[in-house]
């Protein structure tokens, strides 16, 4: 049955990529890389263009997370002593590793995620090369991305050389994933206390996933950044999917809006088992949009849940703002049903009256087209 579902998802994705309303491979793009002038980039030291790219895209260095599983286009180079480091903001993820090229995944407001490469050699005219469909979309379109060109975050059991041990399983990760199933193949640093997870360890020669061996080499990979990254990647895919489906006239908008809002409002978020944190938490809230009471949807909790106020900050993203009006109207209608308390479903009881009211008040002041009424 699962293969039937995956095959159907592949057909769905292929149809949408080529649909005249999407035209993924040929329509003009307006993502952050398409708007960037590469001639201003500087090649500096061992990291090459990395620092200059991060500065140009306004990506904080503190967002660094590190993956040591061989799960990217540059898999042969990746291993625990040479992980792929990823830096990100709300619309861009930048991948870098020693000895490789820079990988960039950028969220276009209409076209979904676009993929680019930047070779790591001094050049008077550096150029971002658009990733080919064969290279990128074989992993970034399918069931794991909701059938659109999107982001993927995986947790996999990993051998000592970084090879994913798929025989032991793995999972696509978002904020609904139990912490104990997250971060296989990733380094995890920061305040994690006694939280149990799959990071910082590999499967030893005995091949027992229940007796993994800890890694002694550490690379900065902030747990707060990992938590935000886990949430954001699926949220971006949901924005792309409801936009594509609405423009192409496929899917049931009301059903998609329900799924979208459940994720946006963290209805199915797994509770955190204790305090987590790292330096990224402070950077993440910098320059946040705040209401008259000083509250922001970028305020992190990291004790019982990810956000202090359970509504995704991605509601302010360019991609969300670019959604067709009918999609946005359906999302806002569903949000009001949930936040007003008129939705009586059992799972929505986890949203307290105080949280619902706070989110409504914040959105009323900071998201002008929301138009929510606080009861």
pLDDT tens, 176-219?
999 999 999 999 999 888 889 999 999 988 888 888 999 977 89
In this prediction, residue 273 has a pLDDT band, given cuts at 50, 70 and 90, of confident
- Return the structure tokens found at 269: 């978020």
For the cut 50, the answer to whether the pLDDT of residue 11 exceeds it is no
Please check the confidence at residue 9 and state whether its pLDDT lies above 80: no
How far is Cα 163 from Cα 157, in angstroms, rounded to an integer? 9
CA separation for the pair 104, 88 (Å, rounded): 10
Nearest to 29 by CA among 147, 149, 137, 139: 149
pLDDT at 132 over 90: no
Q: Which residues of 71-106 are buried (b: 16+ CB within 10 A; e: fewer)?
A: bbbbeebbbbebbbbbbbbbbbbbbbbeebbbbbbb
> Residue 10: its pLDDT value, please?
44
**Percent of the chain having pLDDT more than 90?**
83
Q: How many residues does the chain have?
A: 375
Judge whether residue 168 has pLDDT over 50.
yes
CB atoms within 10 A of CB 212: 16
Across the range 56-68, mean pLDDT stands at 98
Instruction: Give the pLDDT confidence score for residue 14 in this predicted structure.
Output: 58
- Higher pLDDT: 205 or 133? It is 205
Q: What is the pLDDT at residue 274?
A: 86
Residues 6+ apart with CB under 8 A from 245: 16, 251, 253, 256
Q: Which residues contact 61 (CB under 8 A, 6 or more apart)?
A: 54, 87
What pTM was estimated for this model as a whole?
0.94
Of all residues in the chain, the percent with pLDDT exceeding 70 is 94
**Which positions ≥6 away from 53 have C-beta within 8 Å?**
41, 59, 94, 102, 104, 118
pLDDT tens-place string over residues 355-364 = 999 999 999 9
What integer pLDDT is reported at residue 207 of this predicted model? 86
Cα distances (Å, whole numbers) of residue 290 to 75, 146, 198, 300, 372: 41, 32, 35, 13, 17
Helix 223-248 and helix 325-340, axial crossing angle in degrees, nearest 10: 120
Task: Place 13 in a pLDDT band, splitting at 50, 70 and 90.
Answer: low
152 pLDDT above the threshold of 80: yes
Q: Give residue-wise pLDDT tens across range 276-335.
A: 998 999 999 998 999 999 999 999 999 999 999 999 999 999 999 999 999 999 999 999
Whether the per-residue pLDDT at 373 is higher than 60: the answer is no
Give the model's pLDDT for residue 133.
67
**Could you tell me the pLDDT band of residue 3, with boundaries at 50, 70 and 90?**
very low
Q: Is the model's pLDDT at 375 over the cut of 60?
A: no
pLDDT at 4 over 50: no
**Confidence at residue 12, expressed as pLDDT on a 0 to 100 scale:** 55
């Amino acid at each position: 049955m699962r293969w039937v579902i995956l095959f159907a998802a592949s057909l769905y994705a292929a149809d949408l990529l080529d649909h005249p309303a999407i035209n993924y491979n040929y329509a003009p793009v307006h993502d952050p890389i398409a708007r960037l002038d590469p001639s201003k980039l500087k090649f500096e030291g061992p990291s090459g263009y990395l620092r200059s790219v991060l500065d140009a895209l306004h990506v904080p260095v503190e967002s660094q997370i590190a993956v040591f599983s061989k799960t990217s286009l540059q898999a042969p180079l990746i291993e625990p002593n040479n992980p792929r480091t990823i830096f990100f903001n709300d619309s861009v993820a930048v991948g870098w590793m020693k000895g490789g090229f820079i990988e960039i995944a950028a969220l276009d407001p209409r076209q979904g995620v676009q993929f680019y490469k930047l070779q790591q050699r001094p050049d008077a005219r550096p150029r971002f090369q658009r990733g080919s469909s064969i290279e990128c979309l074989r992993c970034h379109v399918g069931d794991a991305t909701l059938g659109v060109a999107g982001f993927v975050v995986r947790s996999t059991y990993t051998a000592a050389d970084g090879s994913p041990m798929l025989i032991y399983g793995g999972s696509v990760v978002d904020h609904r994933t139990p912490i104990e199933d997250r971060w296989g193949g990733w380094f995890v640093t920061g305040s994690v206390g006694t939280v149990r997870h799959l990071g910082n360890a590999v499967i030893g020669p005995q091949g027992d996933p229940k007796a993994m061996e800890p890694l002694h080499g550490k690379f900065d990979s902030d747990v707060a950044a990992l938590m935000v990254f886990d949430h954001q990647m699926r949220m971006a895919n949901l924005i792309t999917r409801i936009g594509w489906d609405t423009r192409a006239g496929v899917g049931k908008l009301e059903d998609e809006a329900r799924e979208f809002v459940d994720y946006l409002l963290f209805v199915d978020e797994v509770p955190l088992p204790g305090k987590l944190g790292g330096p990224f938490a402070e950077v993440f809230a910098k320059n946040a949009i705040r209401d008259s009471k000083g509250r922001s949807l970028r305020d992190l909790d990291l004790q019982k849940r990810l956000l202090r106020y359970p509504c995704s900050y991605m509601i302010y993203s360019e991609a969300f703002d670019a959604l067709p009006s009918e999609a946005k109207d359906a999302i806002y209608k569903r949000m009001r049903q949930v936040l007003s308390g008129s939705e009586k479903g059992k799972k929505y009881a986890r949203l307290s009256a105080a949280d619902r009211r706070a989110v409504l008040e914040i959105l009323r002041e900071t998201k002008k087209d929301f138009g929510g009424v606080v009861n």
